[in-house]
Structures are given as structure tokens and as C-alpha cells.
Chains A and B, each alone.
Chain A
Amino acid sequence: DVVLTQSPLSLPVTLGQPASISCRSSQSLVDSDGNTYLNWYQQRPGQSPRRLIYQVSKRDSGVPDRFSGSESGTDFTLRISRVEAEDVGDYYCMQATLWPVTFGGGTKVEFK
């Protein structure tokens, strides 16, 4: 199975400052169709997960443009350009290129 290693486990942030989360894959996530099925999810306390980013860098409808995704080989990054209060929660990367679908272990974003 593909292992997704997220770092850091915990990310203390400051309002208005940038933040980034890393997700490293144990294998290439480029599919035979040319797409890379790497998504990012946000889970606020007490809520269901919400998809923010799909196929590495495509932002879902309604997701603020302060969220962005990028890749460099098998390393993927979720960036928040300016952290806002509502961004507190857990963030997960997920790959669906290779079966079974796997998730990263999660990163907890909290205020300093």
C-alpha cells in the first residue's frame, strides 16, 4: 500500500501568518491517465472532513484562495497564505491513484 507521511504532526500557527503542511508519498502518484489523484481535506473540530484540494492543486468550489496545493515529485504541500481563525483543525492528504486509497496520518493546526 502507498504510505503517505505527513509533517508536522502538530502545527502551531499565528493569525495572518503563512503555514504549510507536507505530505510525502512512498510511491509515484501519477496515474496511467496522466492525472495525480492527491487530495487535501480539512476537518474542523466536531465536523466531517471537507475536501479543499483535488488532483494536487485544484481548489474546490467555495474554498478560499488562501489555500493552495503543489507538488515536487512525490512530495506534496498544502499552503495557507494567511491563517484565519476558522482554519483551526486537522488536515489530511489522501491518494487515490493506487488501490487501496490511503490517507496521511493528519496534521493538527492550532494557534500558538
Chain B
Amino acid sequence: EVQLVESGGDLVQPGRSLGLSCKTSGFIFGDYGVTWVRQAPGKGLEWVSVVRTKRYGGRGDYAASVKGRFSISRDDSKSIVYLQMNSLKTEDTAVYYCVRGARGLDVWGQGTTVTVSS
């Protein structure tokens, strides 16, 4: 069974940093890109970042709203994707979902909650 399990969500103050992890299983991790999508309370879905496979250079791309503050990486030996979030703002408050794929986005994790508040 394909699974993606997010962790690391927490309550943090504005300007601080937080790291999220996405542990995956049930598929050949190296064959897939992995995407982060977030959902602010009561709002819709927002694409945040993607990390591509090593075949495509393992490159990360970011939404304009987080570029320069967030950094995505992958560890193929552990089948884990990381999202490092710096200089957090109140508007980053959301449930963060880890999703398999760069275009297909077919399997979603259960999400982890990030709350940015003083």
C-alpha cells in the first residue's frame, strides 16, 4: 500500500523556522517526484513546492509566496522528503499535505498542521 506520512507540524512564532518531513512507503521512491500542498483554515488547496526525481536533477520548485523562505529536499536512501520553512509568516498557517508525484498528485498524506502565531 502506498503511504505518505507527514510530521513536524507545530505552533511557532512569526519569523521562526520549522522543518516538515514526509516519510513514504509502498512504492519505488526514486521514480517519483513529491509535492507539498497546503490548505489554510477554511480555504482551498495551494501548491507549495515540488522536488523532482534524480533523473530530472532532483530540482525543487516553489510557489512565489514561499520562494526564498522554503527549501525542499529528498533522501532517496530513506524515502523521505523534507520541507524546511524559514522566516515563517502568519499566512503560512495551514495543513501541509505531502503528495506523490509532480504532475499526477495521485496519493495524499493525512497532513500536518503548522500554526504561525505569536
A contacts, CB < 8 Å to B: 37, 39, 41, 48-51, 54, 60, 90, 92, 94, 96, 99-106
Query: Mask for B9-27, Cβ within 8 A of A = 1, else 0?
Result: 0000000000000000000
CB-defined A-B contacts under 8 Å, sample of 20: A37-B103, A48-B109, A49-B45, A50-B108, A51-B108, A54-B104, A60-B106, A92-B44, A94-B45, A94-B105, A96-B103, A96-B105, A99-B61, A100-B63, A100-B64, A103-B45, A103-B46, A104-B44, A105-B44, A106-B44
B61 to chain A, nearest CB (A): 6
Having A94-B105, A99-B61, A104-B44, one finds 17 other A-B pairs with CB under 8 Å, namely A37-B103, A48-B108, A48-B110, A51-B105, A54-B104, A54-B106, A92-B44, A96-B103, A96-B105, A100-B63, A101-B35, A101-B50, A101-B103, A101-B105, A102-B47, A103-B45, A106-B44
Q: Name the residue among B64, B105, B106 with the largest chain A CB count within 10 angstroms.
A: B105
Query: Mask for B77-118, Cβ within 8 A of A = 1, else 0?
Result: 000000000000000000001000011111111110000000
* Chain A residues positioned under 8 Å from B108 (CB to CB): 48-51
* Chain A residues positioned under 8 Å from B47 (CB to CB): 100-103
Inter-chain contact B45/A96, CB cutoff 8 Å: no
* Chain B residues positioned under 8 Å from A48 (CB to CB): 97, 108-111
- Size of the B side of the interface (Cβ < 8 Å), in residues, is 21
Among residues of B, the one whose C-beta sits closest to the C-beta of A47 is: B110
Q: Complex: how many Å from CA A28 to CA B102?
A: 19
A79 to chain B, nearest CB (A): 21
B90 to chain A, nearest CB (A): 22
* Chain B residues positioned under 8 Å from A92 (CB to CB): 44-45
Q: Complex: how many Å from CA A94 to CA B45?
A: 9
* Chain A residues positioned under 8 Å from B46 (CB to CB): 103
Q: Complex: how many Å from CA A103 to CA B64?
A: 15
Q: Complex: how many Å from CA A2 to CA B63?
A: 13
Q: Complex: how many Å from CA A44 to CA B35?
A: 21
Q: Complex: how many Å from CA A65 to CA B111?
A: 28
* Chain B residues positioned under 8 Å from A99 (CB to CB): 61
